[in-house]
Structure 1
Amino acid sequence: MRDARSTMIDDIERLVRVESPSADLDAVARAADAVTALGTARIGAEPERIVLRGHTHLRWRLGRGPRRVLLLGHHDTVWPLGSLDTRPFEVRDGVLRGPGCFDMKAGLVMALHAIAALDDPDGVTLLVTGDEEIGSPSSRGLIESEAAGCAAALVLEAAAEGGALKTERKGTSLYEVLVRGVAAHAGLEPERGVNATIEAAHQILAVAAIARAEAGTTVTPTLLRAGDTTNTVPASARLAVDVRVRDAAEQARVDRAMRGLSPVLDGASLVVGGGVNRPPLPAFASAELFGRAAALADRLGVGPLTSAAVGGASDGNFTAGAGTPTLDGLGAVGGGAHADHEHVLIAELPRRTALLSALVRDLLGTHPPSRPDEEAADGGPAG
């Protein structure tokens, strides 16, 4: 029988080779086909296929009992079609590489293998969404409804630096400020115009001033577009704003401040769109689960575990916002999410998969876990 590590590498390769940029609905559907085939082979059950606004999501509800543990992941990536041509899948010197391997196709494989290692997965739901990288516009309601009433949501996003679990995530808000001015010829009569670019500059400074470094609140003007031609006073501009906050009160304060922006130039006007995207995942939502995971890691010999607070958001923000205890970063150990050096450390795959399986088992209240070396002797969590 093949060892667990080799089987997991092959499974990750199968998923990485099916490219799945979030905005390409056909590509996401093809990736869902690949996850369906692999999941059916590993856990012996087919998922429900749920298509919302064109995005394909997969849901396995295992057993007939009440839902107790939600495993949460996504199969879409940030990488455009053709990325494999310049960043091919490869395994070398204990490191696995390929677009989307770390964020988060390795995490999906880990979830499937962890479930396969359970004697009885009754009460486990595995939800794999197809639009996480663009803010989960279609899947948010699905995620929140699946999390409701569960004892825990375990998120298969990749671990933080050094393999730390993610016990706190900032909430995110996304805004667009539309600036309206008045066009005029830049050479003949610029004084008759209202310059939207200059108004946008005023608004950039006003937006940046909303941040509170002492509270961990960042308010970052990002993308700016203005004008149509080089010899015309611009009549319009658009400014995108990225907001990250640690708590709901700060998120509400920033929202009020953004909607309270006012024009500086006579004749200019503003329209502020967007708003809250994901609520914060506060530390208290993860504390008890992290304690469980740390104790299990010590028992399995894969500890000690560390934790990290991160600025990036995930679908775990939604499960925590729904009131479900949530532990994030249970996926691959490695680095380079969304970057050319994206990679997974192979040695950690069976260790972290054994920990995930043990944590699910513990939450279900079933028998104690075995050590990962004992699982490997039986062929590992591949089932």
Structure 2
Amino acid sequence: MKQLSALRWAAREDAAAMVDRLGELVSCESPPGSAPHLTVCADLVAGWGEAVLGRPARRVVQDGLPHLLWPAPDQRVLLLGHFDTVWPAGTIRQWPFTVAGETATGPGVCDMKAGIVQMLAALGLMADTSRVGMLLTCDEESGSITSRPLIEREARRSGAVLVCEAGTPDGALKVARKGGSVYRLTVHGRAAHAGVEPERGVNATVEIAHQILAVRALAAVPDGTTVTPTVLAAGTTTNTVPETAALSVDVRAWTREELDRVDRMIHRLAPRLPEATLTVDGGVNRYPLTPAVALPLLAMAQEAAKDIGLPPPDGAHAPGGSDGNFTGALGVPTLDGLGAVGGGAHSRGEYVEVRTMPDRAALLAALVERLLATPS
């Protein structure tokens, strides 16, 4: 096993190869829900993973979507990430992977393909990975619907979960994440001619407007709870009283109690217009990642950073969710944000600081080594 003090230097020797690999992975598009693209990307990553771990991936296909799992019999540490992005196929043609100075851009470069490259580099720095598992899923950006049972199963048999989503732009790790819920409200009214006899209709657009105001009132600003109406659809033609309307609602909160409160209130919503009907679908998707499960691992990461001559990283609270929410909600020690230093996720300003990638890989390797050396 390499001495921890040598990890940074070993990682720096691999810096150019890491950037090359990042370019190849970003250029291999993996849009949400596209099984053909995700399969090609899985093939690429599976080969890299087998090379560093010395064992082939177990391909877990759910609804046509290929997740990659490298389980360990005595799984002391699980490295967790995802290779799907939010970007549709063809984006790479208008926005190719580019490195300018010390910054790389491209679709999915920060969320989270640089994290995967760093994860693989970290494993390559270790002499013994027999107690380290790795799980790379392909539906995180669409809610982890098919991968959640797999994530939770592997977390339960792990001593700790390290999530290689991006850190903050200043390099902090993530010790807390908001939980999230998603809802769809559907209104059924009655159609009528909008110009001749609108009074005979039950206007679904008006009813959904009442519901928009009702759900917005459920937010709790002092607590950081947001309840945001997002996608709205209503009506058919400009001269018809709308018969149906549908609304999507995004909810985020720092505590389980707040998510549960909003969930109860949304399911209690009632129509305001006589003869209108309202149905509510959805619920809590991810409970929050809380500091209680992350702070002990942050302390170990800070010690690992000192071991290899890096400044100890800070811990940050992140409004967005990740698959670490699932593992943390189980009570499994979970630390997030161990991936790239960058920002602008889900925007065309998405970027990664490539100069930091070797040090982040070394930090991950040092932390894993510490966890493996700690009595279970």
TM category (shorter chain) comes to over 0.9
Task: Give 1:211's aligned residue.
Answer: 219
**Offset at 1:312?**
0.5
Give distance in 2, aligned partners of 1:286 and 1:347.
26
Residue in structure 1 matching 2:19, options 6, 9, 14: 9
Which of 81, 91, 111 is 1:103 aligned to? 111
Give the secondary structure class of the aligned counterpart of 1:78: coil
* Structure 1 SS opposite 2:233: strand
What residue number does 2:181 align with?
173
- Corresponding residue to 2:60 among 41, 47, 50: 50
What are the superposed Cα offsets for residues 79-134 of structure 1, whole Å, 9 maximum, x if unpaired? 11111111111222111121111111111111111112112112111000010000
* 2:22 counterpart of 1:22: no
Cα contact 1:167–1:308 (8 A) shared by 2: yes
**In the alignment, what sits opposite 1:119?**
127
1:290 equivalent to 2:298? Answer yes
For the residue of structure 2 that corresponds to 1:91, the secondary structure is: strand
> By how many angstroms is 1:45 displaced?
2.4
Residues matched between the structures, number: 365
For 1:29, the aligned partner's letter is T
Secondary structure of the structure 2 residue equivalent to 1:207? helix
**Displacement of 1:41:** 2.7
Measure, in 2, the Cα distance between the counterparts of 1:68 and 1:42: 18
Asked if the contact 1:263/1:270 (under 8 Å) is kept, the reply is yes
Q: Which residue of 1 aligns with 2:88?
A: 80
**RMSD over aligned Cα, in angstroms?**
1.5
1:234 to 239, 242, 254: 242
Structure 1 consecutive aligned stretches of length 4 or more whose deviation exceeds 4 Å: none
Q: Aligned letter for 2:29?
A: E
Matched, 1:307 2:320: no
Query: Is 1:11–1:38's contact at 8 Å kept on the other side of the alignment?
Result: no
Unaligned ranges ≥5, structure 1: 367-383
Correspondent of 1:355 among 360, 363, 369: 363
Structure 2, unaligned runs of 5 or more: 1-9
1:61 and 2:71 equivalent? yes
Q: Alignment identity in percent? A: 51
Residues of 2 paired with 1:59 and 1:103: CA distance?
19
The structure 2 residue matched to 1:92, chosen from 92, 100, 105, is 100
State the partner residue of 1:188: 196
AA in 1 matched with 2:127: D
Determine helix, strand or coil for the equivalent of 1:109.
helix
2:259 to 245, 248, 251: 251
* SS of alignment partner, residue 170 of structure 2: helix
Aligned to 2:306, what secondary structure does the other structure show? helix
Conserved? CA contact 1:183–1:234, under 8 Å: yes
SS of aligned partner of 2:206: helix
40-49 or 182-191: which moved more? 40-49
